[in-house]
Structures are given as C-alpha cells and as structure tokens.
Chains A and B, each alone.
Chain A
Amino acid sequence: MLTFTIRRLILAVPTLLFISLVIFLLLELAPGDPMAQVPLTVPAEVKEKMRLALGLGEPMHIRFWKWLVQFFWIEPQVLIDNIFGTSLAEGQLRVISWQTRSPVMDIVVQRIPQTLWVVGTAYVVAILIALPIGIYSAYRQYSWFDQMGTFVSMVGFSVPPFFSGVLVIVIFSVQLGWFPSIYDTTHVVDSWDSFVYQLKQMIMPVMVLALQITAQLSRFMRASMLDNLNQDYVRTARAKGLSEYVVVMVHVLRNSMIPVVTVIALGIPSIFGGAIITEQVFKVNGIGQLLIGAIQANDLPMVQTLTFIFAVLIVLFNLIADVLYGILDPRIRYD
C-alpha cells in the first residue's frame, strides 16, 4: 500500500508538470494584450517598458521556469513565513496578478473562505440527503419511492445550475421575498440576527448545488447497495436471525459505502473550484468568480495559477480516492 502511494505520488509530479506546461502554452497563445486597458495617450515606448516590467520580454521557456520557481519554491516559503513568522521569502518576487498588482496567492486566500462555506455546506448537505435516499430506494427497489428518487435525480442531472439558480431566485426572492438574491460576502456573523441572515442568504445557493450533487450520489449509493443486497453473505446474515435493521444498516451498508466513499473523495476538488456557475448566479465572490473575472480581464498569471491549483486538487484527490479504496476494501491489493 505504502509503495503504491509513493509510486503514485512520484508519478503525479510529471503529470502536474505536464499539465502546468499545457496551461502555460495555452495562455501563451493568447491574442489578448494585457496593455489593452492602458489609455491610448500613453506612448508606445512607455507601453513597451510596461510590458517588460510585467516580465513579458523574456523568452517563453524562461518565463515558464520563472513561474515554476515562483509557484513551487517561493510561495511555499511565504506560507511558512505566515505560519511561523519567519522571513524566508522576503524580497523575493511572487506570482503577481496583472489586475491588482498584488500576489495572486493572497487574493486566493481571501476568496477561499466564501467558496468553502457555500460549496462545502452544499456538499455536506447533499451527502446527508443522498445516502438515506440511496439506501431506501435500493432496499425498496421499484417502489414508488424508488421511482420518485429516479425521477428527482434525473431532474437533478438535467436542470443546469444556471436555470435552477435563476428559478429559485424568481420564486423565493422575487415572488415570495423570503431570501436575498445576492450573497453578501461582507456580512459578519456576530449576533443571532446576523446568523439568521447568513443562513437565509446561504439557503438558495446551497439548495441549487445540493440538488445536483444529491442526484449523482444517491444514484451511486443505490447502485452500490443493489450490488450488495443480493450477495450470499446477506442471506447468511438473515439466516443467522439478525434483525433486518442490522443486516441492511451494518452488513450491507458498510460494504456498499466503499465505492461511495471514493466517489465522495473524487468530488471534493469541485468544492474548491467547481461551482463557477452557481457563484456567478448568486454573486458569491469566491474562487470561481475570481477565475471568471481574471479570464475577462486577461489576467494571465491569475488564470494560470488558479487553473493549476484546480489541477493539483484533482490529481491529489484522485490519488486519495485510490488509496482509500485500497484501505477500505481488503480485496483490492495494488502491490
């Protein structure tokens, strides 16, 4: 198991390097000019100097190398500095956003809590809803509850978040006026009333996101339960005279959870970066919104760093899912 993990970790390094190169080359082909926002009155030679100051004068491979060094060597040092109060990275050049002229990672750190709050809550809510639904619809296969579950998850698959989001805004904000349609990220929770307000503004985005995640997870849970319910060990457990509750909730559920846990792990990267559309609909200024803004403003270092962070998360959680699968299921042996 350990050797497998180590081998996969080592394999992840070239994968990530390759991905960062792909992203870099894609952005390199960008026809967009970072100087497009500069007024026309600025003379051409000044513009040229500004371009050089952004580091655009160097050849491509040197810029790629610089980005790699900044991201993998200097940014971790900054992190260590912030945690332990040391000054390893003092005076070193970090990855700088062209929009704000401040370090990209600082902005990312500012934006992450909003995304984590909204999307993370949605994920937890979705898991809490999806698992019981999946278990019950597998236990009563083809019952009306199962049919309903199938239909609801089909709807969850099919209704895109930009429609369901706008729809709940129309119903609950415009018509009924229950919840605010815009998520206020500057809101500080310091009293009971402000806490209630925070809950109110979170309900709609969480609902929209949870519908989608629930749809997938409950289907998966159901399929996995169905696989196990007809196995011999279930008959044995029933023959031993165990109660139905113990058979289903202990014996079958534990075995069915193995693939589901890995699917849950695979979905975690999307908590950090996936909810781009939902954030856009509810104006949550999280990571997804940051990426859209950076793309529209031609802020290449920001786009590069954000896309790469998403890629790292995906690779990392793929690895975690594989390892978890091996740990949970003794039948799986990688070595």
Chain B
Amino acid sequence: MTQSHRIDGGQIDRTKTLRFTFDGLPYLGHPGDTLASALLANGVRLMGRSFKYHRPRGPISAGSEEPNAIVELRSGGRQEPNTRATVAELYDGLTANSQNRWPSLRFDAMGINDKLSTFFAAGFYYKTFMWPKSFWEKLYEPIIRRAAGLGSVTREEDPDEYDKGFLHCDLLIIGAGPTGLMAALTAGRAGKRVILADEDFRMGGRLNAETFTIGNDQGANWAAASVAELSSMPNVRLMTRTTVVGAFDHGIYSAVERVSDHLPAPAAGKPRQVLWRIYAGRAILAGGATERPIAFENNDRPGIMMAGALRAYANRWGVKVGERVAVFTNNDDGLRTAKDLQSKGVDVVAVIDSREGGELLPGIRHLQGAEVIDSSGKLGLSSITVRQTNGRSETISVNVLGVSGGWNPNVNIHSHHRSRPVYDPNIAAFVPGKDGPPGLLVAGSAAGQMSTHAALRTGRDVAIAALELNSAPDLPQAEDAPIRISPLWYVHHGKGRAWVDQQNDVTVKDVKLAKQENFTSVEHMKRYTTLGMATDQGKTSNVIGLAIMAELTGRSIPETGTTIYRPPYTPVAMGALAGRSRGREFKPFRLTPSHHWAKEQGAIFVEVGNWLRTQWVPKAGETEWRQSVDREVLATRKSVGICDVTTLGKIDIQGTDAGAFLDKVYANTFSTLAVGKCRYGLMLREDGIVFDDGTTARMGENEYVMTTTTANAVIVFRHLEFCRQCLWPEMDVQLISTTEAWAQFSVAGPNARNLLRKIVDQDISDAAFPYMGAGNITVGGLRARLFRISFSGELAYEIAVPTRYGDALLREMLAKGAEFDPILYGTEALGVMRIEKGHVAGGELNGQSPALNMGLGKMVSKKKDSIGMVLSQREGLTIEAGYRLVGVKPVDPKGKLTAGSHFLEKGAAPVAANDGGWLTSKVYSPHLGCDIALGYLKGGDRKIGQKMRIVNLLAGLDTEVEIISPHMFDPEGERLRG
C-alpha cells in the first residue's frame, strides 16, 4: 500500500519505513507515527464501530481523548483491547484489529442496531428488561454484553512484567507543552529537582502540532531545544510516554510509564510498564486543553474530526486526512486549521463559521452565521449540508470536516480531590476551581490561559510561585491571540441523531430524554444516559452534554455545573496495578531452617501466612497423605518425632518491669514464675475474648522469652508495643522479636530425652530439667536454649540454636538419634496430636470465644488486673449454658465427622433453633482408630458421655456421636511428665 495521504513536513523519520497490519491488511508508516496517523496516511479513516449502534467511526482526535478509534493491539498473550489508535506508537510489525464488528469492519451485521435505534434510547434497558426478573442475569445481560462494543480479552496469560517504583522531587510538572517546558526550565535552572512527565512520546505538546513561532524559531524547534537543555541538567528527570493518572493525598501522584509499548516486545528482563508513585513537594498541572465538537445530525461519520486534530495530522505527521476539506467553527482557532491546511496545498472548500461578522479569511469561502446541519456518506463523509444565515441550505461535497466548538482546559487531575471546576464565559469553558489538591498549581491552557505567550508566562510564573524562586528567566516572543468564541453546543435542526458522547453513543436526543424524565442534575443525566462514562471519561463530550442540559432546563451553565473527574486520567492496564504481585511472586515466602532438608526428602509444604511449613514427609510406598500422617503420629508417640516450630513467634521481653508487664498482658500470672521455668500463658483482648496463647519462659531475673502462635506473631508483637508505648509508658520494658534469630525444634515422644542426651552438653534428666523447665544450654559448645514443653502430649522439649545452625542441628539429631528411629513430623501430625490432647488452636481461637469456653476459665486471674479480665466476666460470657469445648467421637468408629458440622439432639430437626454448637477441628486419630473432633457445644461440660448427632447438610452428613472430654489421649498427662 502506498501512503497516498502523506504530504510534506512533519516530525516523522521518512528515512525509515515501518510495516504494520490493520485487520490483516499490510500498510507502511514511519517512526514518529501513531497507528492513527499511519492509517490516515494510507487513506484509512474507518477504524471502528460504535459501542451501541455499530456506526462506522474514525478518529476524531490526535490524542488520548479519542472516543472512536478504539482498536485491539497485538495478539496472543499481549493482545490488548480498547486501546486508542491515536496514541498507539507505531513500530515495525505492529498488528492491530478493529473491534465490535462482525463479520468485518466494512460490513457489520450488528449495524442493524442503528436501524433499530428508536428502541435503544437512553434508559431502554432499565425499562425493557424488567420482566421476568430472573431473565436478567441468565438471558438479557449476556446477550447485551455480547453485542456491546468492547474488545475481546485474550485467554492467554500476559507474558510481560510490570514494575512499581517511587520517585521524589521538588516539582512535578504534568505535561510538557510550552507551559510545562517553560516551568521546567525555570525550576531546573534554579537547581530544583524536577520531574517533567508527558503522556506523548515527544515532548512539546501542541507546539508539535502548530506552525507557531517562539522567538525566531518554529515552536517545535524551541521545544526540542528546551528538551535538550533540560536533559543536560542532572536535577531534571524527563519522562516521556508517562501519564500522570491521579492526584492523591499529601502531594502523591501516580504515573504510568509505558516503557516498552512502542516495541514489538519488551527487552529481556525489562518491564512493559512501570507504575510510579511520585512524591512531589509541589506540582504543576500543565496538561493543556482538549478541543470539543459541536453536535449536529450525523456528526459522527469517519472524516468528521476536530479541527485541531486535522492541523496536528498535517503539521506533525505530514498527513492530509482528505482532499476536500471544510471547517465548522464557532471560534478563531478553527480558522487556523483552514489557514494551515490551505498553506499545505489542501483544498479548503469552505469555512462554516457560526459567528456573525468579523474578518473574512482571504482566499477561502468563509460562510459567516452558517451552521452544518447534516452530513452524508456511508462508511465515511462524502458531503455536508450547510444552512446559511439567510436560511438556505446547501450541500457541499467534502470528505473531511474539521469541527471546533472551543477548547476545554484539562482540569481533570485538579478535580481528583473533588474540586469543582468553574465556568469561564470568556473562553466558554470550565477552568480549575478552588480547593484543588494542596500543592498543585495549574498553568497554561489547563488554567484557561490559551495563547502560547500566556502558556509560557504562566508556566514560568507558577513555577516561581510554587518554589518561591527569586529569579525569573526572560520569556521568548510568542503569539498572544485573544480568544474569540460564541458558544454553540449543538445545532438546532431536524429529528435525526446528533452525537454528544461518541464512545458511549449518547445523542442530543438522549439528553433531552433525560430532561423529560426529570434526570436534570448533571450527575443524574450522566448515569441515565451514560454520557462520559466510557473509557475516555467524556473528555470531548461532558461539557457539551451539560451545556445542552442547561439550555433545555433554562438554567445557566454555572448553575448546571459539571460532574467530577476521578483517577485514572486515562485507562491503566491491570498489569500495571498488579506490578510484580502475580503468581509465585504474589508475596514473599518465609522458609524454615529445616526447609532444605525437608525439600531433599520430598516433603509436602503448606502455606501458613508467608511461611512454607512441612505438612508431612512422605516415605517410599506411601500413596495417600493419611498414610504419612498416621505414620508420623504413631512413630512420635511410639519413640520420638521432631517438628520445626521456628514459625512460632518469639518475643524477647526485658526490663525491671518485664514480669509486671506480663501480668498485665496475660490473663494469668508471670511475675511469680521462677527463673529457669516456663508457663502456658493466655492473652485476652480488651473485650475479654481470647487473643492468643503460648508459653513464656523466664530466662533471667529481668528477661523473658514469650512464644506466640504462628498466625499472631506479628499482631501480638504490635499489641505489646502498643501496651508498652501507649498504655504504660512508665514501665521499664524493652521488646524485640527474635522469631527468626533462633531455629527451634520440638522433640517429642518417649525417647525425646534419650535422643537429646546425645546432643546437648548438660544433664537433662527429669530431676535436673523437670517438666516446664527452661534455660540456656550448649550443643557441642554452641549457645542454645532448651524448654521442656509439650503440645503433643508427649515427653517433649523444644530446643533452639542460632538459625544458621538449625539445619545442622536437625541432621545431627536424626543421625545421632538413629537408634530411636526419629522422624520429622509436619503440621498435619502436629494437628492430630494436639486435637487428641484437646489443645486449642486456630479453629478454637476464633476471635469469638472467652477462656471459659475453652475450659481455661480458671486461668483468668482475678487477683490482678489484666487486659480483658473485667470484660471476660460479663454476664453473657459466663452463663452456664454457654459454649464449652468438648471432644467428639462417632458411636460407630466408621462414622465420619467434618469440621464446621453442627451439634443436634437426637430427633431434632436440622434448623437453627435446634443448633447446639459446632465442630471446630477434626482429624483421624490413629490411636483411637476413628475420626475425632473438638467442638463448642452449648453446656458441653455437662453433656460429657451423652449421645448426640453431628449434622452437616452441605456434606450430607448425619452421624451419631458421643460427647467426651476434649483430653482424648492420655488424659492424666502421664506421658508428658515422664
């Protein structure tokens, strides 16, 4: 294909040619092109079908405000729907497809919607698909969604990576047009740390699209020279392809940098995009302005574009969109398009100027007081109908129409904290209001300062004000044309459809309907018609919509007001929001000291928070997890088992008030604990509910080591710090976590002591190291700690060494204790043994249960004050018929139990009123030869020995059970004291 619509000039590199395809057809373009400019250069202006009516559409803009030229880029896992051709940077090999059409863009069967448009007016769905109710989810919604104009999502995984990062600066400048560049020069020359971000791949903003001069040079050249100067400053960071998408609290802005979107694929290891969080001392919004259309009948045909966009395509990209051009304008800026195109040799057939009087353009048919009332052309514009001031209509053959309804300052980011823009009648547009984000100033056309001179001047002055600078650089000469505009929002003519929001297919009629149905507030109009709710956020449509509503209701535009803008400024890929947090990188892992040994053994791991704990360690021949777990339990109870308990929280508590501090945070007493002993402790919340449990050892007069559950390690530490710093700052207590500093193993079973005797240097006989003893010992001279505590109910110790020696200690215990057949058991076997013993854990520590319910009521000392003590005595928490922890086993040993099942009396109907409580934890006990469980049963302590039912309607379970003591194995505790 030839680039039939290329003309001279522009900022494209004609020495290089890029190949790309659109809907499978090959085309050529140049570096510097966007997909839209390259397609237009190839004479392609039909680029999509509209959302609802499947109308043929082409681009109307040359920027990120584009509502029509929405395409799918790339293929496979990189396929990205709903992207704007006007900002997609061309690269060699780019593949793009139109969307929302079938079977083809030129012939779209869904175009039938356009013929049936009467039925699809605003509010149509709400009124039509009301009955029957159940049909909405199953029938109506799927059909409507399929017909609606969004691209398709690839089912493949995104192969690219996304980064996040943090930047800091004195001044963030959003937009690198003349305003932003002048602000950056001012701040940069003053030595301030500046970030200048622009969504375009070339800085300069409108200077690249205009023929203005700055000083003695072309505006685009001045921009290039300014960028060169800025890039030589080490204190200035220039970020192209970077869209600032949101303003957040405390001077924080988010920005998406498209690092690799202009490449076929990111370079190896490089991210596709980076989501930056920018901390800015001050910020300047220099985001420019967006031209808005004028609504008239059939104003959406390919070839009808913004006048400024026509100029941009001609001046920046060397593209004439068509051969015969007309311009429809209500302001002077539209006339620039006519002049620029004419000077480029394009045939400007007519300028339709809705204003009366004023100077006539020389050499061009300039119709003043005229309006375009209609257009025709099947897949693109072929003619317009013009109504002249004398009322006569005339059809003019053109294939391009540039429309200018005025320029809207891009106030969006200034409104992200709900600042309402205010209407400025001088430019017939909204400008930033008060109460914008603190520290954010606005300059240039974003502030309604529309001339190039005003842009440069305000860019400089606002930078000086923002940073309180003392010197002001001289401003170069630039045009300072006044704004001359007579507002015209829509053309009053005919009964056809005049588009307001082209992306969501909202027409003037829809706005009228909203008014008719009394949705006259802008917020209601927006939601009723969906105006401005597409991915373009109504950048070209919002102001016209509300102006039409103002006119219909007889209110002024300020009275009517505007809706508010929210982040993101332009659509953001989900991948950028996720960053690195996907798949295995979703969170960091914590590995136990025994991890490497366990991995060698083929252990199965379970995620416990970020920890990977050994769940069980299969042996050869074991085909099912229960075989491994049963073996680990039996081997431990028979001889000795080792479990890595490093994950339990360990908190070092020191200070002369350490004991008194523990008395306050624990329900039971610790100040009386002898040095060299440990004790089980119960921690309550302020409301009297059990918070956490664990053992705490007194290692010295003023030194304790607390253990917490794995799950609560961090929150208990945080709680203790709160108590120390805020509740009792007068106490002499110092805290620090030592969870990771020590590798700690439980060694349990009848041969636990025999094994450890081969490891530790000290006498650990029952007399020398009795039950609940604790102390510093040595292992081959290495400092270590030993605690005689048991979770399994066996004779058990916990031994700890500095973490780097943990792996070696485990291997040493397994090797030196080989005669006792030691095994390493995982969390499943641990669970079986603790349930056999009736020890509470996660299922019982459910954040709803007081100690009394767990059978631990006596642990809450009344002799002292402690957190939660008073509220644990509340009437409702102490009633005798309250939930109590019980053990449960099926009457028939083959009977099944499941956690979460409910207790019911025999013969009682399975309804909530008869609910007796629930099973909190369930395992299979290889010792008892049946399922066993713990549960909370109403009045359970008085029901030991009774027969009840365990019912689980979801699992289809109804099992007769016996209520037994929760201490189901070795209830006398003879083994652990052995």
**Are chains A and B native binding partners rather than an unrelated pairing?**
no
Which of A's residues lie within 8 Å of B, judged by CB?
none
Which of B's residues lie within 8 Å of A, judged by CB?
none
